[in-house]
Structure 1
Amino acid sequence: MKKPFISGIQQVGIGVSDVHEAWSWYREHLQVDVPIFEEKAEARLMLPYTGGKPRSRHAVLALNLNGGGGFEIWQYVGRTPQPAEFEIKPGDLGINAIKIKSFDVKSVYDQLSQSGVHMLSRITKDPAGQDHFYFQDPYGNPFEIVHSENWFNKKRQPNGGVGGVVIGVSNMEASMDFYKSILGYDKVIYDTDGPAADMEDFDQDQQSFRRVLLERSAPVTGPFSGLLGDSSLELIQTKSREPHKIFKNRFWGDLGYIHLCFDIIGMDEMRIKCEKYGTPFTVDSSNQFDMGEAAGHFSYIEDPDGTLIEFVETHKIPVLKKLGWYLNLLKRDRTKRLPKYMLRALSLNRVKK
């Protein structure tokens, strides 16, 4: 295989007004409780998306060690994060929902229901015949619990982390080509057109959609691929109305789902690939970012509707911060998965409820 390699969805950025309150809720209900970094600093490189000025922020990247991507929980410091100017509905342009993977969908449904979480549907069958349901966090962000057979662990709870996202698009064919060409989501699991009965209260307007679920036929590769695992992207195009751009007149980091991030190997090769496709990097950390506890190289591109896609090539992560055990990935063969014992050691950093 040639670079760039995709190791999986590393995280989805979630803009919130109180990072610690939000992380506490996600720890309690979704067990996203292993921090990779927590840092206060200025976002100096995101000027195209922050009004042309560096913005102070407080961010936490946390994982669920059953497997799947994490949450980058992101709060402005010194600026009040802004909500959308309209009620966000399925099909609006951007990230509509996070897919959380589960090996026991009913058990997760029962746990969330009994905890008083705002449910947006019953357990229903998706167009591929798999059990799923929708719920909402206290901040108005929709989530979908989906069945998965791909796991790093099966411990402590019947769900993992991020297994994909739902993305609103305006032109299905253009978006399918983008996600296939740049990120390798080339396998169509379903392609439906019409009302989405299984969405229930997630889609209160009972819109007519084209919905396409995409997966990658190539396996994920790299140090974290065993933990991050397989993923899917569901593209939805509303046929019932003109969709809104979710971050219209707002900054990256404002309230809601702000970006979709992939862990990769081969940033230089990814830059060339994106340029050839006609979607050059809009932000590039120029070989190094340092979050204090983690380091690497990040960049951003936009999908055809302006949804932000981040790439991170990880150089260093903390394995056991209390003892100063950091893993330098530049000294390893990054085409190979890290040993399970090493990734499981991250659990020693777990933050309890």
Structure 2
Amino acid sequence: MSYIISGIQQMGVGVKDADEAWKWYRKYFGTDVPVFTEKAEAGLMLPYTGGQPRNRYAILAMNMQGGGGFEIWQYTCREPQPSTFDIQLGDYGIFAAKIKTPDARKAYDYYQANGVKCLSGVHRVGQGSLNFFAQDPYGNVFQIVEATDWFQNRKQLTGGIYGAIIGVSDIDAALKLYRDVLGYDEVISDEEGVFSSLGQVPGQKNPMRRVLLRHKAERAGAFAPLFGRSELELVQLKGGHEPRKIYDERLWGDLGFIHLCFDVRNMEELKTQCAKAGFPFTVDSSNSFDMGEAAGRFSYVEDPDGTLIEFVETHKVPVMKKLGWYLNLKKRKPTKPLPRWIIKAMGLSRVTE
């Protein structure tokens, strides 16, 4: 069996106060269902944590309307560090997280009315969807993108994670990972220039090439109906600002977008194919890794510019923790989605204000 990518499971974001950040993400992105909350030692990420295990507090939260979740990540053993420079679009790494919405204009109006900082108006680039840019209180940039595929209608203005905008030094080299391994094989737009529609997005005045990618094939696997479709935008600067690595001289887990995570099955085959493509695993938990309320195997690769992509093969996941109901996914057919009622049952642990 070949490997299976079921969709974007979550975007990792490093913050100073995970509980405070989650409250904001619940209100404005609807990620109000906790899959796990855990305080533990991150002992397997030594290549990215200065060679030392680090204590952390993490929350994995989902929006049950559809899309990926957030892994909200906080160091508890050290003060998480901000970038020493002003990050711009085109710097190497995850510049922005994409959030899906059923109606970009309604979401924009709501954000405006509630004091969320919007960096652009609602616009469309090439054949892409209506979208706008916004910023959370911690300086992280989000692109709110109109989408049509939903797991269920909860009358929320947004779903969860829909993708990412990633700065690269060479788009053609980066495609060897994002297209050939991750399956983003459909080019929606490929444009070069200066984009006035970016409004006040940092770096908007630099000439750049922007390539918007989606995947032709439907994703398969247990949670594929919830994760839904997704898109990635690769940005390569063509002058102006000299790009830098967003996490230059910082640790994984410091402030900002720390990784983009995909839910997968058949990790061994994925490991083989990543190595053949020139992207060997840099971290691999090898067996099932216990995350308290959930368990699985995780691994990491780097894109050509060092951006971290995580893979998680979920083995155990809570459905209704209060009743002790957990799913063992190792016994399921890898391509078969879970019954929708089981996925919806996870929403019973929703946190309301």
> Would the TM-score normalized by the shorter structure come out above 0.5?
yes
Q: Partner residue of 1:181?
A: 180
* Cα distance in structure 1, aligned partners of 2:108 and 2:204: 23
* Cα distance in structure 2, aligned partners of 1:205 and 1:164: 20
Alignment of 1:236-315 (within 5 A): 236-239=235-238, 240-315=240-315
Q: Partner residue of 2:328?
A: 328
Q: CA deviation at 1:204?
A: 5.2
Q: Partner residue of 1:44?
A: 43
2:152 alignment partner, SS class: coil
* Cα distance in structure 2, aligned partners of 1:19 and 1:302: 25
Q: Partner residue of 2:63?
A: 64
Alignment of 1:153-172 (within 5 A): 153-172=152-171
Q: Partner residue of 1:133?
A: 132
* Cα distance in structure 2, aligned partners of 1:123 and 1:287: 45
Runs of 4+ residues deviating >2 angstroms:
none
**Higher mean C-alpha displacement, 249-258 vs 205-214:** 205-214
Q: Deviations over 1:67-92 (max 9, x none)?
A: 00000000000200000110001000
Among all aligned residue pairs of Structure 1 and Structure 2, give the percentage whose two residues are the same amino acid: 55
* Cα distance in structure 1, aligned partners of 2:250 and 2:227: 30
Unaligned runs of 5+ in 1: none
**Number of matched residues?**
352
* Cα distance in structure 2, aligned partners of 1:219 and 1:108: 27
Q: Partner residue of 2:82?
A: 83
Q: CA deviation at 1:257?
A: 0.2
1:128 alignment partner, SS class: coil
Match for 2:300: what amino acid?
Y
Match for 2:5: what amino acid?
I
Q: Partner residue of 1:21?
A: 20
Q: Deviations over 1:19-66 (max 9, x none)?
A: 000000000111110011100000000000000000000000000001
* Cα distance in structure 2, aligned partners of 1:241 and 1:31: 35
Q: CA deviation at 1:203?
A: 3.6
Q: Partner residue of 1:226?
A: 225
1:124 alignment partner, SS class: coil
Q: Partner residue of 1:101?
A: 100
2:24 alignment partner, SS class: helix
* Cα distance in structure 2, aligned partners of 1:350 and 1:183: 31
Q: Partner residue of 2:316?
A: 316
Q: 1:212 to 1:230 in 2, by over 3 A?
A: same
Match for 2:265: what amino acid?
I
Match for 1:245: what amino acid?
K
* Cα distance in structure 2, aligned partners of 1:204 and 1:273: 35
Q: Partner residue of 1:342?
A: 342
2:159 alignment partner, SS class: strand
Verify the 8 A CA contact 2:129 2:147 in the aligned structure 1: no
TM-score (norm 2): 0.98
Q: Deviations over 1:166-224 (max 9, x none)?
A: 00011111012221111111110000000112211114551111000011112101000
TM-score (norm 1): 0.98
Verify the 8 A CA contact 2:119 2:133 in the aligned structure 1: yes
Q: Partner residue of 1:199?
A: 198
Q: CA RMSD in A?
A: 1.0
* Cα distance in structure 2, aligned partners of 1:66 and 1:153: 5
Verify the 8 A CA contact 2:177 2:279 in the aligned structure 1: no
* Cα distance in structure 2, aligned partners of 1:13 and 1:189: 26
**Higher mean C-alpha displacement, 253-262 vs 167-176:** 167-176
Match for 2:31: what amino acid?
V
Q: 1:37 to 1:129 in 2, by over 3 A?
A: closer
Q: CA deviation at 1:158?
A: 2.6
Q: CA deviation at 1:328?
A: 0.8
Match for 1:27: what amino acid?
R
Q: Deviations over 1:288-331 (max 9, x none)?
A: 11111000100000000000000000001100011101011112
Q: Deviations over 1:134-158 (max 9, x none)?
A: 0000000000111111110121313
**Higher mean C-alpha displacement, 271-280 vs 306-315:** 271-280
* Cα distance in structure 1, aligned partners of 2:334 and 2:176: 28
**Higher mean C-alpha displacement, 142-151 vs 251-260:** 142-151
Unaligned runs of 5+ in 2: none
* Cα distance in structure 1, aligned partners of 2:209 and 2:65: 32
* Cα distance in structure 2, aligned partners of 1:306 and 1:242: 17
* Cα distance in structure 2, aligned partners of 1:288 and 1:8: 20
Q: 1:204 to 1:304 in 2, by over 3 A?
A: closer
* Cα distance in structure 2, aligned partners of 1:7 and 1:80: 34
* Cα distance in structure 1, aligned partners of 2:129 and 2:230: 15
Verify the 8 A CA contact 2:99 2:158 in the aligned structure 1: yes
